[in-house]
Chains A and B, each alone.
Chain A
């Protein structure tokens, strides 16, 4: 007689903890064939509000950690994920209907991508920042700083690799993020949350809100304490346009939708660049 399994309650990930939605709502997630998998928490605007608070609180500490420290934390995420390779593979396979091999490849690529970004943490400043040879007796340097709190929509497919590719570049530079994973394939995101919770990532640096981006993103777009939006996973142009119009009210930096990006290829630094601010400092050179 086969064992009765213990089924997981899939909750939100806010401030390093796993609360249910304050609205109490859930929605059904099915596998690629339409079979029921689980009831997953459906985030509300109040959850979004709480996530912003958690993200803002975490931002100060995360952004003032040394780059070396951040790099080590990102690497640890990869370590913890490695240990859960099989779990991720089967969840990705279930969610996206991929073959075992393709699912495993996607998971491996995602883990390797965390490693790639871990290596960037203490280097991108050298690629993006510099001194400037101004025409006068001044020392002048430009440095990248994280923009603050970012609200992101992960791609609809590539449930772990797409999510990683959106998430990692945002936090590498010290930002805190609220990310909404693919509504139809959120389970790998929740497993990722568990990895984050056990890998030295300070609570609030990454917040994962499962649910409907079209419902929640407008609240985040208007929220005056969110600095930037990543609309990568939005497929509906009209929704993206509305959200961006709302974001204009507080001059947020907006990364445009890119729902069908090629996640398999090594990225450029473009995503890191989007969510940093360049600060330029002048000081006289004198005796």
Chain B
């Protein structure tokens, strides 16, 4: 057995490396100076670190715990043009009781749907799990501010207690950071008591430097969660990009004391993948983040693979697709 160093009381909490100034000037010039002053990211080094973390071998009781934790972190998602109330109701039933054969299986954290299906979802789940609605002209984010605000307010009024918004990538890539910032602030206000996840759409930001900047921008603007992707663009969530966002969250916490959550969405299909993400969380921000209030998986097919692995650990043999429900 090898054990990590423990005893995090012996050294002073690290003063944040980044950034060293407070964000006081939220004009575009001020934001640009702040964000461009963040340290760069070496892509090869970041990916190598993620790859090393991916070699961690998690077994037995740790694995069982990881699977249950991962299930409890799933935002079970349907975001299709062809979604119907029927589809949403089926999703919600599964979300509440993922494994019909085993009621020791935890519920997922939330269901995630388009805004116009929030009423259906809330009716189906009651108060037992969260209902997250995508908003702000998901997935493209290309609409007027009024439309985005309306999208948000309506969803909240209909019963969504979590809002997953998208940032304006066009504004970001053209350097209009103030626009991105102000939108997040406004949507956060429109959320009222609902918690706000800000989707960066890392697949369109392209560089890790951009992801770091967008993460800090979102957190400074009041995000409760930062989320990798809409799931509609490839690449969606990857281990390196999630590692990077967790580093940002860690440093933001050190600087401000505020804990921001991270949601990895899109492209996470297997339990093995999910456990790798939990390892990354564990070794970057620590155990405090290993719960659904601070880490989520945006996924649909992942849940079944987690259930299959759960069966294997419970029964001692490999399970099969007939033993999990399709919805």
A residues neighboring B (CB under 8 Å): 136-138, 284-287
Contact = CB atoms under 8 A, between A and B. Distances in A.
Given A286-B44, A287-B206, A287-B208, 10 more contacts: A136-B44, A137-B44, A138-B44, A284-B42, A284-B43, A284-B44, A285-B44, A286-B42, A286-B43, A287-B43
Nearest to A136: B44
A134 to B, nearest CB: 12
Contacts of A136: 44
Contacts, number: 15
B42 to A, nearest CB: 6
Main secondary structure of the interface of B (DSSP, over half): helix
A287 B211 CA distance: 12
B301 interface: no
Nearest to A286: B43
B27 interface: no
B57 interface: no
B207 interface: yes
Contacts of A138: 44
Contacts of B42: 284, 286
A201 B207 CA distance: 50
Among all A-B residue pairs, the 7 with the closest Cβ atoms:
A286-B43, A284-B44, A286-B44, A287-B207, A137-B44, A287-B43, A284-B42
A9 to B, nearest CB: 63
Interface of B: 42-45, 206-208
13 contacts: A136-B44, A137-B44, A138-B44, A284-B42, A284-B43, A284-B44, A284-B45, A286-B42, A286-B43, A286-B44, A287-B206, A287-B207, A287-B208
Nearest to A285: B44
Nearest to B207: A287
Contacts of A287: 43, 206-208
Contacts of A284: 42-45
A138 B43 CA distance: 11
A67 B11 CA distance: 52
A287 B40 CA distance: 11
B207 to A, nearest CB: 5
A136 to B, nearest CB: 8
Contacts of B207: 287
Nearest to B43: A286
B43 to A, nearest CB: 3
A69 to B, nearest CB: 36
A239 B43 CA distance: 56
A96 B208 CA distance: 72
A104 B110 CA distance: 96
A284 B46 CA distance: 11
Contacts of A285: 44
Contacts of B43: 284, 286-287
Nearest to B46: A286
A240 to B, nearest CB: 48
A138 B45 CA distance: 11
B208 to A, nearest CB: 8
A286 B42 CA distance: 7
A136 B44 CA distance: 9
B40 to A, nearest CB: 10
B321 to A, nearest CB: 38
A21 to B, nearest CB: 57
A205 to B, nearest CB: 40
Contacts of B44: 136-138, 284-286
Nearest to B44: A284
Looking at B43, B44, B207, B208, the one whose CB has the most chain A CB atoms below 10 A away is B44
Nearest to A283: B44
A286 B40 CA distance: 12
Contacts of A286: 42-44
A68 B155 CA distance: 72
A138 B47 CA distance: 13
A138 B206 CA distance: 20
Contacts of A137: 44
Nearest to A137: B44
A181 B42 CA distance: 54
B271 to A, nearest CB: 29
